[in-house]
Amino acid sequence: MKYKPEELTKLPRSVQFREGKVVLIDQLLLPREFKTVALETVDEVARAIKTLQVRGAPAIGAAAAYGLALLAETSKAKNKDEFFDEFYRAYEVLKNTRPTAVNLFWALNRVKKVVEEHREDSLESIKRLIVSEAHKIADEDVDANLKMGHYGAEILDEGNVLTHCNAGSLATVHLGTVGAVLRVMHKEGKLKLLWVDETRPVLQGARLSAWEYHYDGIRLKLISDNMAGFVMQQGKVDYIIVGADRVVANGDFANKIGTYSLAVLAKEHGIPFFVVAPTSTIDMSLKSGKEIPIEERPKEEVLTCGGCRIAPDVDVYNPAFDVTPHKYLTGIITEKGVVYPPFERNLKRLFRS
Ligand code: MRU
């Protein structure tokens, strides 16, 4: 790889495990305060995932895996049976936090598999294996992002990019998926301007993407979501690049609500539309996007903005994600290379390789 992570961002890792604690950049405080929080129990990690203190598919996966590592390092279980009871309870608590991003289940199942394959080992050795698997998940995420950053920047020409939500460093362990592509493009002078959608209802674009890309010196303009179509019509967008919470076997994918509208608009304006997602985000067990469970979040997220009430107390529909059919997609940038249509065939090939 041409660049190392520290040459691409000034940010530290968003999710870490230190001295038996899960240490996160607190995404609820940004952009007002840039602070970390150290979580000491599995329930605190689960709450952090539910409340979006940590969010973004790969970051959620890593945080959950570190939640199990936290259990391994702090458990007072007297024997293996007691520990297994605690382990499966923690696994369930973490699993039941958010339903859409498949990285959560992928990471938890990776750790569970290691435990089940070593059931006969000593308790101390099982605990060590859990911690080491969680570190592997985090390190592999950084490595995947670095690769995707280089692949993406290789296939994209100089131009203006529009992104939605936050698929940056904050949404992963480090660098981001989209974030890595943007950072390599920026390093090479290929990113002329970044358009950032504010991303209602909870403003991951305005609060998080605008903050982290500005922090790294990337030239950007923030727009409200309803401006994206006009900006495209004015010829000011060369590429749209987004992350994903779950890509399925035919290339359909779930991402932050609003992504589908952007994809339809991109097609109308002939703008290439890319997803950047590691293979940990690809769920080959689902055939089409219709099968992806879509999280619905509390109505307060829509009724308020930045803590202020902006609407009367009416009924609200608040799906956190939408599904974009693969026909709108130009390509999927993964750590194993770029996948182009036909997605069903080429995703299968990617997993066979
Ligand atoms: O609800 P969020 O903030 O967790 O949603 C995040 C997204 O939709 C991201 O685009 C996605 O997880 C990809 S992160 C690399």
Q: What is the pLDDT of residues 35-75, one digit of tens each?
A: 999 999 999 999 999 999 999 999 999 999 999 999 999 99
The whole-number pLDDT of residue 46 equals: 99
User: How is the chain split into domains, by residue range?
Assistant: 5-143, 156-352
Q: Which of 144, 115, 345, 313 is nearest to 243 (CA)?
A: 144
Q: Active-site residues: which are they?
A: 245
SS3 of residue 79 by DSSP: coil
Was 10 annotated as part of a binding site?
no
| Closest ligand 1 atom to 321 CA | 8
Residue 246 phi, psi (nearest 5): -160, 125
Q: Which of 80, 83, 97, 9 is nearest to 45 (CA)?
A: 97
Q: Please identify, in words, the CATH class of the domain defined by 156-352.
A: alpha beta
SS3 of residue 50 by DSSP: helix
Neighbour tally for 271: CB within 10 Å = 19
The whole-number pLDDT of residue 219 equals: 98
Q: The pTM is what?
A: 0.98
The hierarchical CATH code for the domain 5-143 is: 1.20.120.420
SS3 of residue 249 by DSSP: coil
Question: For residue 203, how far is its CA from the centre of ligand 1 (angstroms)?
Answer: 11
The whole-number pLDDT of residue 353 equals: 84
State whether the beta carbon of 179 lies less than 6 angstroms from ligand 1.
no
* Token pair recorded at residue 271: 């703008």
pLDDT tens across 271-326, in order? 999 999 999 999 999 999 999 999 999 999 999 998 999 999 999 999 999 999 99
Strands 191-197 and 159-163: parallel
Question: For residue 164, how far is its CA from the centre of ligand 1 (angstroms)?
Answer: 9
Neighbour tally for 158: CB within 10 Å = 11
ipTM above 0.95, yes or no: yes
Spatial distance between the Cα atoms of 218 and 222, rounded to a whole number of angstroms: 12
Q: Are 183 and 281 in contact (CB under 8 A)?
A: no
Spatial distance between the Cα atoms of 308 and 151, rounded to a whole number of angstroms: 42
Percent composition of the chain: helix, strand, coil (DSSP 3-state, to 5): 45, 20, 35
Spatial distance between the Cα atoms of 349 and 339, rounded to a whole number of angstroms: 9
DSSP 169: G
Rg of the Cα atoms in the chain? 20
What residue ranges of the chain have pLDDT lower than 70?
none
